[in-house]
Amino acid sequence: MDASEVEFLAEKETVKIIPNFSLDKIYLIGGDLGPFNPGLPVDVPVWLALNLKQRQKCRIVPPAWMDVDKLEEMRDLERKEDTFTPVPSPYYMELTKLLLNYASDNIPKADEIRTLVKDIWDTRIAKLRLSADSFISQLEAHAKLDNLTLMEINTIRAFLLDSLNCMYKLRSNQQPGSSKGQFTDF
Amino acid sequence: MDTQSYLPVQPGVGMEENFLSLDDILLSHERLPIRTECSFPRLGFLDKSSDSQDIPEGTKMELPLWLSKGLYEKKRRVLSVELPKVYREGWRTVFNADPNVVDLHKMGPYYYGLGSQMLHFDSPENPEIAQTLLQTFMGRFRRNMDSSQNAYNEDTSALVERLDCLEKALFSSGQSGLNSFQSWEKGRASQLTASSLVLNYRKRKINDIQP
């Protein structure tokens, strides 16, 4: 899976916007949106919010978790705990990048938020690598991926799956009696 | 996303080889030290060191893996295969002590593949060989993962030069994950680029086709 495909999935998340135009309810396959009234906040998917924002038709209200104090708290918790802590949104990385790139004027302290989210991301990736290593070295057969987001899994997926595949084959060497290990005569 | 004009077949790694894998074809040409258990009449030309017409019983020579595997039979002793020295007791202790210091490219470069293939030859040390292969892989995993996931936009030749072919393939899949994430983060993923197939495609001239 490509990172941009993960981003595409993230664009289905809803975000609150304050439009500056009026429009009746619009009926789409994915659900009904609106009605839009100037000054009244309304929930729309991120892709629509960004499109309206680029045409300067709305102001984006940042999600509640996109706040310096809350993110600092989360970062400290993430650093303290050995396991993965719950994240505010399953697409926190993608949403931060999208919203900060296109609507940084609507988000207070955009730069600090960017740094904090990056810190959280780095801590989590380091943990992910640590747990992948212990997963391999203890010859575990399954792992619980609680609180991991799609983007995080996606960065390590290709490598981890290929390694597990190799390891499975090297492990099956140890049981030469199994029918898979027998080589067919030419 | 990296696109290739063909999809290479992955090596089989274990006891079975993948017929269409280029790595496994190269692997099957690795030379193994063997000892003949019966005489091979009129095959003396295979052994360049002697002038006799036949290969007598008890000759020590090297044969490629594919040939030794074909000739080896448990019931009719045609030849016996000796372990290459990287799989012997002495080197196994080294691998068990610290697998990270070993230059597997020099040892192999198909250390894991050849080691798994050695299990066909019913040596009494088979369980230890299989165990060492697995331990070596596990021991080297962390370093391989860290280097493949961190080396962004830099020369990786120093990192991969000591890796076995199998580990090199893993390294590049780790790099592809890292690169796709980094290019997304930098906003490069949203730009459309022409496929490498299109770029490589040149218009054929009629003169090239007709002899």
B114 and B178 belong to one structural domain = yes
| Shared domain check, B93 and B75 | no
Residue A185 within any structural domain of the chain = no
Average pLDDT value over all residues in chain B: 83
Kindly report the CATH number assigned to the domain that includes residue B25. 1.20.58.2050
Most A-contacting residue of B75, B134, B140 (CB-CB within 10 A), to test interface = B134
Q: Are residues B74 and B88 in the same domain?
A: no
Residue B90 and residue B161 in one domain: yes
Q: Are residues B70 and B94 in the same domain?
A: no
A181 and B130 within 8 Å at the Cβ level: the answer is no
Chain A residues near residue B186 by CB distance under 8 angstroms: none
Interface probe for B, chosen from A170, A171, A174, A186 (most Cβ of B below 10 Å), is A170
CATH number at residue A48: 1.20.58.1020
- CA of A129, closest CA in chain B: separation in Å? 8
User: pLDDT tens digits for chain B (211 residues)?
Assistant: 455 667 778 887 777 788 888 888 888 888 889 888 888 888 888 777 777 888 888 888 888 889 888 888 877 888 888 888 888 888 888 888 888 888 888 887 888 888 888 888 888 888 888 888 888 888 888 888 888 888 887 887 888 888 888 888 889 888 888 888 888 888 776 677 777 777 777 777 777 777 6
**Residues B40 and B59 reside in one and the same domain:** yes
Q: Is residue A92 part of a domain?
A: yes
Of B126, B166, B173, the CB nearest to A159: B173
**Final residue before a domain boundary, out of B52, B82, B112:** B82
Whole domain around residue B131: which residue ranges?
Answer: 84-186
Residues of B in contact with A181 (CB under 8 A): 14-16, 119
Please count the structural domains in chain B. 2
Domain that holds residue A153: 3-172
In this structure, is residue A181 part of a structural domain?
no
Does A38 contact chain B (CB < 8 Å)?
no
A181 touches chain B (CB under 8 A): yes
- Tell me the per-residue pLDDT of A34-62, one tens digit each, with 9 for 90 and over: 789 998 999 999 999 999 999 999 999 98
With respect to residue A182, please indicate whether it lies within any of the assigned structural domains: no
Yes or no, beta carbons of B142 and A3 under 8 Å apart:
no
Query: In this predicted model, what pLDDT tens digit does every residue of B44-57 receive, in sequence order?
Result: 887 777 778 888 88
Q: Collapsing DSSP states into helix, strand and coil, what is residue B64?
A: strand
